Structure 1
């Protein structure tokens, strides 16, 4: 079946000049509807395959050690593959409103499975490292009919989890994904009663690659992403095709990158950033994406190879979380990386120390962004060079509105004057369709009323917005702990600890970690007479573990205090606990270096939204260099104190 070519809008309508903050006003003089964006992610793929059939769409690396052995697909290959998988899903009665669960690290066939799920029904990607019972609950809420998961060659433990989930949910089919570059027939797969079990590549191989007979429309649901939500509780946030296409267009409209640009992808596809920034957005411009191996940025060997990868594939841009750039700031550049135009960073606050160190090491400026799952992905972008706005996470993206309000004790939103600090609200075509609350005859039932009013989304973040639309974050309203870019609700940790018979109070915060950015720890108070055997750190951690569904949320340490801090009006506050935690981290690093230091010489102070640690400057230059190297592994701000005279 031959599909007639899609009419193309004039280039200046689809791709306006967008290189400086002043571009925003000119862009919005053209109505979004007049830009003739593709209606769905499937239409984005169809357009790319028709315009650039022989252009490389994706290159997947099997792993960091095999970085020269990538497998490449053209845009024509990608569309044919998506159409075959879509036909397979339709054979299992997947249609509009029906969900396909995706449970796998990144591998060559996963993007095609994702796009096919969105073309036929709804994709529900889930972090495969969550416990089986938690995955089951999420996919049960999504009402997944088909499950695509990492097969036994790719992830043996993940395959065992997927089989458990598939059996519990009685899915129609369970399809296994193979490692990138796997050849020949896959290993035999043990059957499941009532469920088709097969390798996805083999099952789809003989099916026609004809275009989808009933492609999705702009308002159809495209995906359900599990998220901590703006209130911290685990939820499924529903995205429409419009949400994803508009947000992807806003990102790729960046004038720094053109059709010949190549993007590096290292985040997992259960992350909205990976989907929108490194899958859908590049398809709009016909760009080439190089995907890291299944571990992505979590593969230690990647860091010693990344500059060579950038040189070989002429990478123009990459997207990662601050901890990735914190590591790369100290990896010697051993290749020609002149192709890099910029590096995007988001998911958590970017310390100036990381920004400065990365740029000093590489010559590449970091371009900070801001977003959340409930607003699809990105809401703001920064600029480099003279247009960078220090202290801001970026200017609002086109066709998105932002403002701040005061939320009173009854939950009312009270208007604030322009520039006043308050709770940040977002409105526009990227605001999600709502959280899944149930299912009806045509698909998921949604409710976003708790966070969206008159189209305005309550982000839960404290901020101020300047006259040019730049967002200045002032704190996280719900104090989420961000571990490796993933949100952990401290309330879940606190509730788990408060189930202990002797714990009378609990407050969880993030402790700096050189690899994950933050890991959770908790401070507790105990009832008088609490037995030591039941209230040591190890015992309290073990108790919390039994109540927490996500392994990443289990606290690394539990510290007993006489009382938990409160504000002058008696409300609990985490700021003193964060200051204490940062200070202790710095003290621990100094001790590990064998440098003696009085605890009162290491201090933490609050500077606007940021906490900064100050450590004594040693007389020995070599010791100062050792301290710089040790503390430079973290993403918090720190400085040397001036020597006392």
Structure 2
């Protein structure tokens, strides 16, 4: 059944989810997939982005055998059903094999390998990791030095190595050891049920203290069905997945869901979209591999649209699927106008096992919205008190907290203290985002109630920036917020109030941050000094005011080219009851030399169209 409207979703839900979803566990998904699609290619790994670079295919049958061997290997090394296995692995077929083996035999814990060793060790300790599977220098050179540091911090850790670097001593060669295990059965199968924990995914920022969301086998099985339902292209679909597998988009929509449906997943080099050559050769990759669905975060979409497409046959491409942060409406329109493939924008969270809403490929796609709710996932817009009390639903079109409930929602964080403020009464999850629902059930995001900065789909915890700046002797208070950016969605920036009689330049404070903040992506691109930090009535920093100020700075800079052309334009960024935030542009009556009003308005929209914040243009 193709999903076109909210009514189609309601009709599907007449059958309970437990009756509709045949598989209950990851093991059953992989077993059924191999039985149904054994002669198909499950994974295609591109060692490089060029046409002569080696390509390696892994079939469905081979995939299942290797997952079985890997699960047996973990058990043979004393890893039990309740033990946690951390993965530090870039984009490889082996990454999915190790992930699923750990979920079947134990509990998987994929971690962002770009974090520093101290942060990774902190996440592993929180997860109670007993084993680590990591890529050696033959695959990606930056990971193994961190492994050595982690081993010093966690004595007794069992370490498995993927790759061909024989200098990585005192680690089990994962692939060689797997080959010695039976591939037709699990030696000591772990009892699996819908509510069995399969994985712990870290969230709440790529920096800062870890929050580990529990993923269950039943929720993953439901996700594998719902997350491809809105696209509904059937077996034989080819998905280009350039996302990292420590992210739910890369591992769930980009892995488990397509495999459950008989798709082929193309992995473009270990670094995916972080590899500049993949971006440069993107359209060639699509053409050579007959890609049907291209997955990408908004920053990648913006980057590839600057790559020449002339001469490439893109007729296989049916759609782009995106998420992670809001896609600028103008970018969606440009892609659909120039390429002819619809852009399917969705919205999800680690806590909801990937996508919870999505625009339907076969129904109306509303640019700027994140679509309709997934079947069996309830979405409501509510008035939520500071203590987490749900005071009631907001009327249609009114902005409130985006809440979700259903079997795809996490049962909670590993540390129950993190549930406070997120896991609300009656099973509702507070996403931390603000939004509104229209009359047809489409969700429109308008802002965030929490403070996370989302840079190109990656979360940055502002407290790490704030704590670093607070260690500077000249800083009295600091607050980090997102600076709107037409490419990354947001970039980290900070406002500081200096101590009386203290002095420090903004560049000196940025250089201090470079030394103090281990995650390069979290270093603020701007540090702005203000005389007095805005405060709430109880003395807390009032970040909504700072976010407006940051947006004002971004839009002032964006309009500079227009002013350089002699056109007097002012912008005021303000709160708006419909859009959450609106950039109101006012343009003085243009001279004849400046061009017509329509031409100036088009030029203004070109400059501002890449931003997630909406804009409106008015002439004096």
TM-score (normalizing by structure 2): 0.89
Q: In structure 1, what is the Cα distance between the partners aligned to 2:438 and 2:490? A: 29
Q: Which residue of 2 aligns with 1:339?
A: 316
Determine which of 182, 192, 195 is the counterpart of 1:208: 182
Tell me which moved more, 497-506 or 219-228: 497-506
Q: Deviations over 1:269-296 (max 9, x none)?
A: 0001111101111122111111111121
Asked if 2 retains the 8 angstrom alpha-carbon contact of 1:433 and 1:448, the reply is no
Q: 1:373 Cα deviation (Å)?
A: 1.0
Higher mean C-alpha displacement, 449-458 vs 78-87 = 449-458
Write out per-residue CA displacement over residues 334-382 of structure 1, whole angstroms, 9 at most, x where no aligned residue: 3222222221111111211211122222112211111111111111111
User: Residues 450 and 514 of structure 1: is their aligned pair in 2 closer, same or farther, counting only changes over 3 Å?
Assistant: closer
- TM-aligned CA deviation for residue 422 of structure 1: 2.0
Q: How much does 1:56 deviate?
A: 0.7
More deviation, 633-642/507-516? 633-642
1:497 aligns with 2:464: no
Structure 1 counterpart of 2:249: 273
Counterpart of 1:225 in structure 2 is 201
Secondary structure in 1 matching 2:142: helix
Asked if 1 retains the 8 angstrom alpha-carbon contact of 2:489 and 2:611, the reply is yes
Cα offset, 1:464, TM superposition: 2.5
Higher mean C-alpha deviation, range 408-417 or range 93-102: 408-417
- Aligned equivalent of 2:65: 80
Where 2:175 maps in the other structure, the secondary structure is helix
Aligned to 2:447: 475
Q: Please state if 1:188 is matched with 2:173.
A: no
Is it true that 1:308 corresponds to 2:293 in the alignment? no
Give the Cα–Cα distance (whole angstroms) in 2 for the partners of residues 385 and 93 of structure 1: 49
Contact 2:230–2:359 (CA<8 Å) still a contact in 1?
no
- The 1-side partners of 2:19 and 2:586 are apart by 56
Listed one character per residue, the Cα deviations across residues 71-112 of structure 1 (whole Å, up to 9, x for unaligned) are: 111100101111111121111112211111101211231111
Contact 2:562-2:569 at 8 Å conserved across structures: no
| Selected match of 1:553 from 511, 522, 540 | 522
Q: Is the aligned partner of 1:89 residue 2:74?
A: yes
Call closer, same or farther: CA 1:298–1:67 in 2, change over 3 Å.
farther
For the 8 Å contact 1:102–1:114, the answer to whether it is kept is yes
Q: How do 1:433-448 and structure 2 match up within 5 A?
A: 433-437=411-415, 448=419
Question: Who is 2:340 aligned against?
Answer: 363
224-233 or 198-207, larger mean C-alpha shift: 224-233
Q: Aligned equivalents of 2:538 and 2:121: distance in 1?
A: 43
Equivalent residue number for residue 159 of structure 1? 144
Aligned equivalents of 2:258, 2:448: Cα separation in 1: 31
| Residues 255 and 320 (structure 1), Cα distance of their counterparts in 2 relative to 1, 3 Å cut | closer
Q: Which secondary structure does the structure 2 equivalent of 1:508 belong to?
A: strand
Superposed CA offset, 1:251-310 (max 9, x none): 122363111211110100000111110111112211111111112112222223222222
Alignment length (residue pairs): 607
Instruction: Give yes or no for the alignment of 1:130 onto 2:115.
Output: yes
Q: Which runs of 5+ in 1 are unaligned?
A: 1-15, 179-185, 438-444
Instruction: Please list every run of 5 or more consecutive structure 2 residues that lacks an aligned counterpart in the other structure.
Output: none
Alignment of 1:11-410 (within 5 A): 16-65=1-50, 69-178=54-163, 186-192=164-170, 197-212=171-186, 213-215=188-190, 216-228=192-204, 234-254=210-230, 256-334=232-310, 335-384=312-361, 387-410=364-387
Deviates more, 1:152-161 or 1:467-476: 467-476
Quote the Cα distance in structure 2 between the aligned partners of 1:331 and 1:639.
27
Q: Is the 8 A contact 1:520 1:556 kept in 2?
A: yes
Aligned in 2, Cα 1:599/1:232: closer, same or farther, shift over 3 Å? farther
Whole-Å Cα distance in 1 between the matches of residues 280 and 602 of structure 2? Answer: 21
- 1:151-202 deviation per Cα after TM superposition (whole angstroms, max 9, x unaligned): 0111222111112112321244322222xxxxxxx2323434xxxx133222
- The alignment partner of 1:454 has SS state of helix
- Is the alpha carbon distance of 1:64 and 1:208 closer, same or farther for their aligned partners in structure 2, counting shifts above 3 Å? same
Q: Kindly tell me: are residues 628 and 77 of structure 1, through their superposed partners in 2, closer, same or farther at Cα, counting changes over 3 Å? A: farther
Partner of 1:4: none
- Tell me the TM-score normalised to structure 1 length: 0.86
Q: 1:376 to 1:643 in 2, by over 3 A?
A: same
CA distance in 1, matches of 2:435, 2:556: 31
The answer to whether structure 1 residue 520 and structure 2 residue 496 are counterparts is: no
CA drift at 1:113: 0.9
Contact kept, 8 Å, 1:230 with 1:458, in 2: the verdict is no
1:435 CA drift (Å):
1.4
Query: Any conservation in 2 of the 1:326–1:633 contact (CA below 8 Å)?
Result: no
Whether the 8 Å CA contact 1:144–1:171 is kept in 2: the answer is no
Please identify, of 127-136 and 399-408, the stretch whose mean Cα deviation from structure 2 is larger. Answer: 399-408
Separation in 1, partners of 2:372, 2:138: 44
Q: CA RMSD in A?
A: 3.2
Which residue of 529, 536, 544 corresponds with 2:505?
536
Distance 2:365 2:121 in 1: 44
